[in-house]
Amino acid sequence: MTTGPNPYALLERVNTPDDLRELAENELAELATELRRFLIETVSKTGGHLAAGLGTVELTIALHYVYDTPRDRLVWDVGHQAYPHKVLTGRRSRMGTLRQKNGLSGFLRRDESVYDTFGAGHSSTSISAALGMAVAAARQGLDHKVAAVIGDGALSAGMAYEALNNAGDMDADLLVVLNDNDMSISPNVGAMSNYLARILSGRFFTTVREGSKSVLSTVPPMLHLAKRAEEHMKGMVMPSTLFEELGFHYFGPIDGHDLPTLVKTLRNLRKQKGPRFLHVVTRKGKGYEPAEADPCVYHGVTPFDPATGKIEKKPTGTTYTQVLGDWLCDMGLKDERLVGITPAMREGSGLVEFSKRFPGRYFDVGIAEQHAVTFAGGLACEGLKPVVAIYSTFLQRAYDQVIHDICLQNLPVLFAIDRAGLVGADGATHAGAFDISFLRCVPNMVVMAPADENECRAMLTTGFQHDGPAAVRYPRGSGPGAKVQQALVPLPLGKGEIRRKGRAIAILAFGGPLAAALAAGEALNATVANMRFVKPLDEALVAELARTHQLLVTVEENVISGGAGSAVNEFLAAAGLVPSVLNLGLPDRFVEHGDPKQLLAECGLDAEGIRRSILQHRPRGLAGILESA
C-alpha cells in the first residue's frame, strides 16, 4: 500500500505492463484506486470517453497482469473503454494531449503503440480481428495467446455474432471477454457465481469434463446424457447456453471489480485451449459518483470540474443535431407516418425528445447499422415514412443496404446524416469524409447539403416529402447562426441560389463551406453560389456560371475524389463547357484529430485557404484580376 502525499506513488512505478507484473497481487487494488483517480483528473481537462474506462480499470489491470502483452495479443473493441489500457502501456505522461492535434488518439491505433494490436473507432470488430490473429498464430506455430474485450452494446451487432459463430466452428484458441456494463445478461453476480466461475475455469473441472467426454465417447447415449447434465447444472445458476451453442466454453458472470477473482479466473482461462467466453459485469463510471449517476452524459464528456462533476459548457447556438430533433417532433405531429430509427445513437443524433413524445414511433435497433437501413426499408414498403438518424461514418457500414434494399427499390427513406465532414477531436475514424462520394453515384438517391440551420430544416422537409430515397448531410455542432423558421416548407428540388454576384470567378459552395466561400468571395470580388443539392445538381445554374465566368471553384467538406466537385466536372464535360475549374475539398488522406477550425485551415477550407488556393491557381486571363485581389 502507498503512503505519503503522492496520490500516484504506485501508478508512477508502472510504465509498462512488465512493471505491472512486478507488483504483488495485493498491491493491485491500490493501483486501481490511483488509476481511476488519474483518469478522472486527466479527462476532466481534455474531455473524452470517461464512464466506460472507469468501469474497466480492474479488468484492464487483471488482463495485463495475467497476459504477457504485447507478446500476447489483447484486442479492445472501439476504444471507449481503453483509456486505462493507454495509461498502463507507456502513455501516462501523454494523457494530457488526448484528442488534441499531434496528441494521443481517443481510440486505438496500431501506429501509436505496440500494445494497440488493432485500430478501431467503430464497434464490434474485436472478435473478428482477434480470431484472425489467433488463426495466424496457429498457422505460424506461435504459442502466444489472444483475447478480445467487447462491450455488451457492441455485442448487439451482427458482425460480433458472425465472428463468434466462425470462431466456435473453427475451434480457435481464443478468449472473448464480455464487458457487460449496462444490462447484465443474468443477475447471478456475487460470491456464488464468482466461485462457480473459478471452479469451472480450473484444471480439475476441465480435466474431468474433457476426460469424461473422452471415456463416454464410446457410449454415445451416455456422452449425450453427460453433456445435458453439465448444461443443466450451469443453466441453473448461469445465463442461457447461447455461447455454448456457438462452440464456446462459457464462464461467468463474475464481478468485474473483484481483482482477486478476475486474476484467478484469467489465469485459469489462459492455460486452456479452444474458444472461451468470459462474462464480466462492470459498472460504468465506477468510482466517480457523477459518472455512475449519469453514465450516458459521462460516456463522452467535455472538460469538467473533477471535484463537483460540473461540466464546462461553452456558449453555443442551435446545433444541427438539435435542428433534427426539433424537426422530428414537429413533423411527427403533422404526419403520423413518420417513424424515427437510430442505431444506438439516441442522444448523439438528437432523438431524445422524439423518443419521449412518440415512443411507439421510435426505434433504437442497437449497434446494427445494416439492420437499421433494411428495417427502414421494410417499414417504407408498408406505407410508413422512416427517418434514419445516423452518423456519416456509421452509414458506411450499411452501404450495401442503402444500394440494394433502399435505392434499388426506390423506397421513401430519409437519411439524416450527422457528423458530415471533419469532427475534430474524434479524428479520422469518425470523420464523415466520404458520404457525398458514395451516395451521389447511387441511382434514385437525392443528396442535399445545408449551408445553415434553417436550410437544414427545410431540406429535412424536402427529403421527407420526396417519394424516394433522400439524404441530408450536415456537420457536427452549430452552423453560422441562421434563425430557424418553424414552418415545414420544402425547397425546390435540385435548385441552388446565387448569394453574391461578382466577376470572373464563381465559387460553388456545397453545404457548410458557404460561409468561408462568401468571405473569400468578398476578398476576390467573386460570385458565390449556394448549390444546396449535390444530386440532382442544379445544371442550369452551373451552365450559367460557366458561360459568364472564367474560373469555377467548387468547395465541399468531403473528399475531392468523386465528390460534389466531380459532379460539376462531369456535367461540364458532358455539356461541352470548358471553363477553368478548381476543386477544393478534403485531401486524399485521413485527417487526424484536433481543433476543427485548425483542421479546416490545414485542409484549405477556411476563407483564407479558399482565397489562397484561387490565387495560386492563376488560370489564364485572370492574372490582372487576381493581382488586384
Q: Locate 172 and state its grid cell.
A: 480457435
- Distance between CA 439 and CA 450 in Å, rounded? 16
Catalytic residue check, 397: yes
Q: How far apart are CA 81 and CA 60, in angstroms?
A: 9
Taking the C-alpha atoms of residue 568 and residue 539, their distance in angstroms, rounded to an integer, is 8
Exactly one of 91, 397, 473, 535 is catalytic; which is it? 397
Compute the distance between CA of residue 297 and CA of residue 318 in angstroms, rounded to an integer. Answer: 19
Contacts of 558 (CB under 8 A, 6+ apart): 420, 421, 432, 433, 434, 435, 436, 437, 510, 564, 585, 586
Q: What is the DSSP letter of 161?
A: H
Place of cell 461541352: 576
CA distance 618 to 608: 16
Q: What torsion do the CA atoms of 603, 606, 609, 614 make, to the nearest 10 degrees?
A: 110
Residue 263 parent element (H or E): helix 259-271
The reply to whether 592 belongs to the active site is no
End-to-end Cα distance, the chain: 69
Q: How many residues does the chain have?
A: 629
- How many of the other CB atoms lie within 10 Å of CB of 9? 14
DSSP 367-427: S-HHHHHHHHHHHHHTT-EEEEEEEHHHHGGGHHHIIIIIITTT---EEEEESBB--GGG-
Phi, psi dihedral angles at 375 (to 5 degrees): -60, -45
Q: Cell numbers 473483484 label which residue?
A: 258
Report strand pairing: 470-473 vs 505-510.
unpaired
Residue tagged active-site, from 369, 455, 556, 557: 369
**DSSP-derived pairing of the beta strands 470-473 and 73-76:** unpaired
Nearest to residue 261, comparing CAs of 538, 495, 499, 66?
66
What residues are paired with 177 via a beta bridge? 149, 278
Instruction: Classify 352 as helix, strand or coil.
Output: helix
Cα dihedral 449, 451, 456, 461, rounded to 10, equals: -60
Q: H or E stretch including 76?
A: strand 73-76
Catalytic, out of 284, 385, 419, 473: 284
Classified as helix, coil or strand, 95 is helix
C-beta atoms surrounding 514 within 10 Å: 27
CA 369 to chain centre: 11
Residue 283 designated active-site: no
> How far is Cα 305 from Cα 289, in angstroms, rounded to an integer?
13
Task: Classify residue 512 by its DSSP letter.
Answer: T
Furthest-apart CA atoms within the chain: distance in Å: 95
Place of cell 467573386: 526
Question: Cβ distance 437 to 559 under 8 Å?
Answer: yes
How many beta carbons lie within 10 A of that of residue 101, not counting itself?
Answer: 15
Q: Which residues form the catalytic set?
A: 284, 369, 397
